Amino acid sequence: MARVARRSPLSPKGSSNASSEAAGKVDRSPPSAAARALQKMGLRTDWDLALHLPLRYEDHTRLTALADARDRQAIQFEAMVVAVEVSQRPRRQLRVTVDDGTDRCVLRFMVFYPSHQATLVVGARVRVRGDLHVSIWGLEMVHPSFTPAGGPLPQTLTPVYPATAGLPQAYLRKAVASGLHRALQHWTETVPDDFLRKIDAQRFYGMASSLLFLHNPPADADLVALQDRHHPAWGRLKVDELLAQQLAQCLSRRERDRLCAPVLAAAPDGHAPSVSLMQDFLKVLPFGLTAAQQRAVAEIQNDLARTRPMHRLLQGDVGAGKTVVAALAACVCMDAGWQCALMAPTEILANQHFTKLVGWLGPVLAARGQSVAWLTGSQKKKDRTEMLARIASGQAALVVGTHALIQEQVQFARLGLAVIDEQHRFGVAQRLALRDKLAGHGPAGTLAREPHLLMMTATPIPRTLAMSYYADLDVSTLDELPPGRTPVVTRVVSDERRDDVIGRIAAQVANGRQVYWVCPLIDEQADPDGEAHADSLLPAPSGPGKAGARAAGREALALRNVTATHAELSAALPDVRVALLHSRLPATDKQQVMEAFAKGETGVLVSTTVIEVGVDVPNASLMVIEHAERFGLSQLHQLRGRVGRGAAASACVLLYSPPLSPTGRERLKAMARTADGFEIARIDLALRGPGEFLGARQSGDAMLRFADLSSDEDLLEWARAVAPAMLDDYPDEARLHMDRWLGNRSDFLKA
Ligand code: ADP
Ligand code: MG
């Protein structure tokens, strides 16, 4: 039973006193279980506890007269017990009638213990807290908490903390209060005063006042401002957190300045071959580069010619033509006599890149006695062994693959450039692992310790995110699409009009066009984007966990699955070849299905989101997305980007199952309204937070907990400005500050 804290648990006196008070509670819920639950929540240090902030607050600071209370109001009152009865009907329960002089109230307990009956005896005065129900039969409270009446009321609001099963609020409150108390005792200021003075003083309190306020605000606190985090009590946490993040970014940038990468430029030292791959490639390319592509290539070339490892993000909306830019960067690297690795998140995409690159570069490389190697998780052992040998000898100048590239056995002879396509689909650890492929393996006699790194993404990164998480990156942006594209027309259509949509498919196919039909899940157990880690070598990331998977499973029962849709379309369109693609198919089948579709042999491809990223079949002109309301906006944008790649007018149909929630409708309408990836990314950032951009599954640790990039841009600007000065002038404080806020997570901010 939760008891009213007698004193603010935050005053040092309250803390020490409260510990004896709490001892009884600890006995009732075995301390080991609750302590284990604390650990499981990641609340290990005093600082962890101090930063475990309330979800909401309860007001235990005053008493309300029963006569003044409203229905459903959460109130606290003191009253005298006037009747106690254990009734058996409708079920066994304890009914206690209390009277506060203004009205009577019945307290009902379906579960009760002898201790209840010991306190709740006729004539006793009790303090009761709970939700009041007012009905024609009078006032009632079900399972209220109660203590003997009297004693001082708390001066501050009572926090309700995020908890888990086996972790009672009373125990948690106690633990947080004492953790906070100790944390503040040992806390030293790390942020220099003259830096803090640059922020409007109205915006934040000192650290101690901030934390004390957030855990136990006064009864008259502005709860709305606390809730939406505009209250100055939040300011200092945001300031410190953003500063820690910027310090880590700045530091990793400086560390990179000291590292050495191979100089990838056609040097006159005999390394450069007489034939330039780059020139040959430009000759076979069936189109000219856009101005944006030329600019990006020049920026990359410039980086590659330096010993400082390149760390560049190439962002460009879907269809902007990033692959060609990557291929040209690979040429520069190979022309300088080094190997290039290209890693893609799915086998389908890696395969497509491989086919394209072999087509473009295969003959020229062969003439030089070199080749393009191919590595995936599903490869036959014999092929794999052969590929590994070619990579280790350097005979494979270009290596294309999935996560298999970062496996331990993969040893490059001279890795000069690593390209990561659709980088947001990879975890931080995976990106770091690819970068580490050169470390220690640089050829003897060179100083090279790091390959250059080029990351590509079609999920444009809003400015604030670029400034925070990607502060260590240089960015090239493809801000124009190749000429001759017709915009994709997007329609939001109810599933009730499914037959019309199927009719439209028939018309498209009759005109020689092809169609994608995307469904959310394979069947009740499927992971909607299982493909992303289907061939991962790393343990499946701890995401939402089993509970999440079960929930997804339940949801999926209600969804049309991809197999059923395939059958439905096959039946409805007897003259059309309808293919099926999902992540559970064996890799060779996937490959065959994709190849047949790319060649135009199949008219309709019914697929899960395995085709989400990168897939490029210019003849496809209609994209139908079933249960569009279940997808994130950036994901819809990616899917939509699979069409509109050729000259034909293309369309995207967002099918939804009515009824659609107002926000759901808003989101789909936004999709139909704009084709601008940046605009969509901004909407997505506002709706879903930064996870979509960062590959949340693996980098959740690097997330901001307190600051909000959409509303704290000015604080971010401040942190960015002061971080370099702090590293220079206050290195010890900077180190302490990063340790406190990031601990061992600072590594995760580097990639
Ligand atoms: P993304 O940026 O989404 O990865 P891709 O690299 O797959 O885009 O390119 C999309 C399509 O545009 C491909 O078919 C590609 O060959 C073509 N393409 C790329 N650059 C140009 C260009 N400058 N002119 C015409 N077509 C281009
Ligand atoms: Mg691509």
Summarised one tens digit per residue, pLDDT across range 120-159 is 999 999 999 999 999 888 999 999 999 999 989 999 999 9
User: What's the pLDDT at 695?
Assistant: 44
CB 324 less than 6 A from any atom of ligand 1? yes
- Answer whether 287 contacts ligand 1 (Cβ < 6 A): yes
Q: Is 387 left (phi over 0), alpha (psi -120 to 50) or beta?
A: alpha
Residue 459 tokens read as: 């999920």
> Which of the residue ranges 170-179, 451-460, 577-586 has the most confident prediction, judged by mean pLDDT?
170-179
| Helix (H) and strand (E) counts in the chain | 28, 22
pLDDT at 554: 36
* Cα(287) to centroid(ligand 1), Å: 9
For residue 76 and ligand 1, the question of a CB distance below 6 A is answered with no
Using a 6 Å cutoff on CB, does residue 244 contact ligand 1? no
Q: Which of 129-133, 294-298, 442-446 is the least confident region? A: 442-446
Say if residue 505's pLDDT is above 50. yes
Distance 482 CA to ligand 1 centre (A): 7
**628-639 as b/e: b if 16+ CB within 10 A:** bbbbbbbbbbbb
For residue 139, what are the β-bridge partners? 105, 134
Ligand nearest to the CA of 643: 1
| Dihedral, 529, 563, 598, 500 alpha carbons, nearest 10 | -110
Structure tokens at 393: 């000898």
Q: Domains, the chain, ranges and CATH?
A: 17-21+30-54+162-226 (no CATH), 62-148 (2.40.50.140), 268-478 (3.40.50.300), 488-521+559-674 (3.40.50.300)
Ligand 1 pocket: which of 285, 324, 479, 613 to mutate (most atoms within 8 A of CB): 324
Within 10 angstroms of residue 457's Cβ, the number of other Cβ atoms is 23
* Listed residue (177, 218, 223) closest to 9, CA to CA: 177
pLDDT at residue 5 above 50? no
Per-residue confidence at 699, pLDDT binned at 50, 70, 90? very low
Ligand 1 atom index nearest CA of 318: 3
Distances (CA, A) of 366 to 335, 371, 372, 398, 414: 14, 6, 9, 12, 19
pLDDT given for residue 360 in this prediction = 87
Asked whether 638 and 312 are in contact (CB, 8 A), the reply is no
Q: What is the mean pLDDT of the chain?
A: 81
Cα–Cα distance between 119 and 148 in angstroms, integer?
A: 7
User: Is 290's C-beta closer than 6 angstroms to any atom of ligand 1?
Assistant: yes
Which tokens hold the place of 645?
Answer: 């790649």
Give the residue, by CA position, lying nearest to ligand 1 atom 22: 482
Q: Which of 388, 391, 375, 302 is nearest to 338 (CA)?
A: 391
Assess whether pLDDT exceeds 80 at residue 112: yes
> What's the 576 CA to ligand 1 centre distance in angstroms?
28
Amino acid at 399: V
What pLDDT score was predicted for residue 439?
58
Burial class (CB in 10 A: 0-12, 13-18, 19+), 615: buried
Highest mean pLDDT among 3-17, 368-382, 529-543, 682-696: 368-382
Q: How far is CA 437 from CA 385, 408, 418, 441, in A?
A: 18, 9, 9, 7
Residue 336 has pLDDT above 50, yes or no: yes
Model confidence at 446, pLDDT cuts 50, 70, 90, reads low
Cβ–ligand 1 distance for 291 under 6 Å, the answer: no
190: left (phi over 0), alpha (psi -120 to 50) or beta: alpha
Rg (CA), the chain: 31
Give the C-alpha separation, 372 to 297, whole Å: 21
Here the tokens at position 535 are 């061939």
Q: Is the shortest distance between the CB of 322 and ligand 1 below 6 Å? A: yes
Contact between residue 569 and residue 655 where contact means Cβ atoms under 8 Å apart:
no
Mean pLDDT of 201-226: 90
Nearest of 251, 267, 252 to residue 305 by alpha carbon:
267
Residue 220, both tokens: 């008259």
* Residue 204 confidence (pLDDT) above 60: yes
Cα 134 to ligand 2 centre (Å): 62
Structural tokens at position 18:
């409260």
Distance from C-alpha of 682 to C-alpha of 534, rounded to nearest angstrom: 29
Residue 555 has pLDDT above 70, yes or no: no
Tell me the residue type at 294: Q
Mean pLDDT over 305-318 rounds to 90
Please give the number of the atom of ligand 1 that sits closest to the Cα of 421.
4
d(CA 125, CA 137) in angstroms, rounded, equals: 23
**pLDDT of 322 over the 80 cut:** yes
Q: Which atom of ligand 1 is nearest to the CA of 316?
A: 2
Which residues have C-beta within 8 Å of that of residue 437, sequence separation ≥ 6?
Answer: 341, 405, 406, 410, 412, 415, 418, 451
Question: Tens of pLDDT along 561-599?
Answer: 788 899 999 999 998 999 998 877 888 888 899 889 989
Cβ atoms of 513 and 506 closer than 8 Å: no
**Ligand showing the shortest atom-to-Cα distance for residue 346:** 2
DSSP code, position 202: G
Q: Strand pairing partners for 74?
A: 131
* Choice between 163 and 726, residue whose per-residue pLDDT is larger: 726
pLDDT at position 34 is 83
Cβ of 293 less than 6 Å from ligand 1: yes
Q: Choose the residue to mutate in 287, 421, 639 for probing ligand 1, maximizing ligand atoms within 8 Å of C-beta.
A: 287
The CB of 646 under 6 Å from ligand 1? The reply is no
Tell me the one-letter amino acid at 191: V
Of 2-6, 235-239, 347-351, 559-563, highest mean pLDDT: 235-239
H or E element that contains 48? helix 46-50
pTM for this entry: 0.67
Alpha helices in 586-632 (DSSP H): 587-598
pLDDT, tens digit, for every residue of 231-277? 999 999 999 999 998 898 888 888 877 888 889 986 545 454 556 88
| Separation CA 162–CA 56 (nearest Å) | 9
In the chain, what percentage of residues exceed pLDDT 70? 82
* Ligand 1 closest atom vs CA 290: 23
Q: Which residues, 6+ apart, have CB-to-CB distance to 689 below 8 Å?
A: 703
User: Can you give the pLDDT at residue 748?
Assistant: 44
pLDDT at residue 702 above 80? no
- Ligand 1 neighbour 691 (Cβ under 6 A): no
Taking alpha carbons only, the member of 100, 116, 484 closest to residue 108 is 116
The helix or strand, by DSSP H or E, that contains position 419, with its residue range, turns out to be strand 415-420
More confident position, 212 or 710: 212
Mean of pLDDT values over 429-446: 64
Q: Is the pLDDT of residue 94 over 80?
A: yes
Please check whether residue 56 is in contact with residue 91, taking contact to mean a CB–CB distance below 8 angstroms.
no
190, 733 contact by CB (below 8 A): yes
- Kindly tell me if the per-residue pLDDT of 462 is higher than 80: no
Dump pLDDT digits (tens) for 646-678.
778 899 999 998 888 887 888 899 899 988 887
Strand ranges across the sheet with 604-607: 488-494, 650-656, 620-625, 514-518, 604-607, 578-581
Q: Is 129 in the pocket of ligand 1 (CB under 6 A)?
A: no
Instruction: Give the residue, by CA position, lying nearest to ligand 1 atom 23.
Output: 289
- 57's CB contacts (< 8 A; 6+ apart) are 157, 158, 159, 160, 217, 223
Quickly state the pLDDT bin for 533 (edges 50, 70, 90): very low
| Predicted confidence (pLDDT) at residue 84 exceeds the cutoff of 80 | yes
Could you tell me if 131 and 74 are in contact, meaning their C-beta atoms sit under 8 angstroms apart?
yes
Check if the beta carbon of residue 117 is closer than 8 Å to that of residue 94.
Answer: yes
CA nearest ligand 1 atom 20, residue: 321
Per-residue model confidence (pLDDT) at position 77: 96
pLDDT recorded at residue 542: 34
For residue 282, pLDDT over 70 is answered with yes
The gap from C-alpha 631 to its chain's centroid, in whole angstroms, comes to: 14
The DSSP annotation for 474-538 comes to EEEEE-SPPTTPPPEEEEEEEGGGHHHHHHHHHHHHHTT-EEEEE-S-SSTT--TTTHHHHT-SS
pLDDT at 572: 92
- DSSP lists the bridge partners of residue 88 as none
**What is the model's pLDDT at position 228?**
82
> 256 CA to middle of ligand 2, Å?
27
Q: What is the mean pLDDT of residues 97-114?
A: 94
Which ligand places an atom closest to the C-alpha of 287? Answer: 1
Helix (H), strand (E) at residue 76: strand 74-87
Interatomic CA distance for residues 357 and 351, integer angstroms: 10
Quickly state the pLDDT bin for 6 (edges 50, 70, 90): very low
Please state, in angstroms and rounded to a whole number, the distance separating the CA atoms of residues 237 and 161: 18
Lowest mean pLDDT of 29-43, 85-99, 333-347, name the range.
29-43
- 52 vs 588, which has greater pLDDT? 52
Range list of H helices, 341-497 = 347-367, 381-393, 428-435, 463-468
Q: Are strands 604-607 and 578-581 parallel, antiparallel or unpaired?
A: parallel
State yes or no: pLDDT of 343 exceeds 90.
yes
pLDDT band at 85 (very low <50, low <70, confident <90, very high): very high
Task: For residue range 359-387, list pLDDT tens digits in order.
Answer: 889 988 998 899 999 999 888 999 999 99
pLDDT at 689: 56
The string of DSSP codes covering 209-263 is HHHHHHHS-BTT--HHHHHTT-SHHHHHHHHHHHHHHHHHHHHHHHHHHH-----
In angstroms, how far is the first alpha carbon of the chain from the final one? 48
Q: How large is the average pLDDT for residues 189-197?
A: 91
Residue 35 has pLDDT above 90, yes or no: no
